[in-house]
Structures are given as C-alpha cells and as structure tokens.
Amino acid sequence: MIINNEVQESQKEIINRLRDLINQKNLEPGDKLPSERSLAEKFNVSRNNLRIALQTLEYYGLVKSIPQSGTFIAEIGIIALNGMIEDILRLSTPSFRALVETRINLELEGVKWAAFRRSDADINNMENALANYSDKVIRGEEAVQEDLLFHLAIATASGNAMLNSFMLKITPEIINNFEKHHVCDKDSAFRGIQEHKNILDAIKEKNPEGAEKAMKEHFSALYQYCYNTQNGIQS
C-alpha cells in the first residue's frame, strides 16, 4: 500500500494510537476492536483516515475486517503484533530506486519460474501483451502500461501467487514514476520490442537461464537510468 507522505504521517499517528489502545485494554488475538465510529471519535480523526489506518494494518495481516461483524486482532500474538507495528511506523514512502530494485529482483526469479511452469494460455497472454505493446510503440504512442502488462503476464505465468501479488501492488506506483520521469524514450521503447520477444522466446523454449539472461539485458538500461539519476527522482 503506497500513499503520499502527508497521508502516511497521519496514518502512522493513528496506528500508534491503535497500538496503545490494544495494549492499554490488554486485548488478545481474536478480540474485536471498537467500532470505526467510536475509534474516530476517541482519536478525534475522520472515519476515512481511521479506515485507511485499519486497512494498512489489515494489509500487513495484523487485523482482520469481517463485513457486518467488525475488525478483529489477528491470531499472531501481541508481542509479534507490537513488533510489526513498530516496523510499520518506521516505514517510509519507497523511492523510485527501491521500486526498481524490488521489481528487478522479483522478475529475475519470476521469469525463471515462468519458463518452467508456463502454460499455453500463459504464452497466449504474453503474446497478446507484446502485440499490444508493439502496436503502440510503432504508432509512436507511450506504451508504459502495455509494457508492464507484459511483465505482469510473466508474473502470472510464474505460478507463484505471492510474486504475482507483489507485482500487482507495486505496478501502479511504477507506472506513475515512469510517466512522471519519462523513463522510456522512443529508442528504448523500440528496443523493448525485441527485448520482450527475446524473453518470450526463452519462456516458450522452457529455458530458465536464457529467460533470466534476456530479462537482465532488458533491465540493464533501466538499472543504469535509476542509479545515474537516483538523487533527482526520489518519490
């Protein structure tokens, strides 16, 4: 869950107060938290801000929201819960470099799994995504979203639900940063057509080493761009 700095600081304060409430009332795993309305009144915050804070805790698996029933503390133990909340409070908004590093590491592993596990349907999805990307590039249009849809198709083909989930979570912020900083120029977009084809060919051939090599070559320009300009493109 990636949110802007102002909202993030507000959520951290609410999360901190939620932790204090849990400890002061000696709530246990499985216990129900007070209603959103009563918590918002107690903390003197809007229900929307409170809801975002609770969604953040649910995102990290610390609470569970059940429709028509309420929000409950996860079954992980209070010591672990306090430690994880402390880690959440120390989190900062990820920089563009952090997003790129995460994406590269995920995809270098994912593309190897895709080469092992891909189905005919996966190949068809990747071919369609590549065709859509190529069409836009050839027409001279920006194709950042189509590019990332090709990579998401690879994540799906990996057969790893966690990797696919992480890719889905970071993709919107990657798109925003790519468009904001104009990462892909016309030449790199055209090179991307062949680079994507090389990746797809290796996956089709069930060649994990070749797929990883092709992905590394595809990411080389992005990696260089990120590190050459890291001081100027912090999120």
Residues of the chain with CATH 1.20.120.530: 96-232
Radius of gyration (C-alpha) of the chain in whole angstroms: 21
> What pLDDT digit, counting tens, does each position of 107-120 carry?
999 999 999 999 99
Q: CATH topology for 5-90? A: Arc Repressor Mutant, subunit A (1.10.10)
Residues 65 and 71 sit within 8 Å (Cβ to Cβ): yes
- Among 91-95, 135-139, 227-231, the range scoring the smallest mean pLDDT is 227-231
Confidence of residue 199 (pLDDT cuts 50, 70, 90): very high
Residue 161: C-alpha distances to residues 51, 139, 155, 207 (Å): 27, 34, 8, 21
Residue 181 scores a pLDDT above 90: no
**SS3 state of residue 30:** coil
SS3 content of the chain, % helix, strand, coil (to 5): 75, 5, 25
Confidence of residue 88 (pLDDT cuts 50, 70, 90): confident
Residue 192 scores a pLDDT above 70: yes
Residue 23 scores a pLDDT above 50: yes
**SS3 state of residue 73:** strand
CATH number assigned to the domain covering 96-232: 1.20.120.530
- Between these two residues, 173 and 211, which has the higher pLDDT value? 211
Question: Average model confidence (pLDDT) for the chain?
Answer: 87
Query: How many helices (H) and strands (E) are present in the chain, helices listed first?
Result: 10, 2
Please name the residue that has the structure tokens 């696919």.
164
**SS3 state of residue 131:** helix
For residue 95, the model assigns a pLDDT of 76
For residue 34, the model assigns a pLDDT of 95
Which residues pair with residue 70 across a beta bridge?
Answer: 66
Share of the chain above pLDDT 90, in %: 60
Residues of the chain with CATH 1.10.10.10: 5-90
Residue 231 scores a pLDDT above 70: no
Question: How remote is the C-alpha of 65 from its chain's centroid?
Answer: 21
Task: Supply 124's token pair.
Answer: 């068809």
Residue 21 scores a pLDDT above 90: yes
**SS3 state of residue 34:** coil
For residue 29, the model assigns a pLDDT of 92
Residue 94 scores a pLDDT above 80: no
Residue 70 scores a pLDDT above 50: yes
What is the 8-class DSSP label of residue 94? P
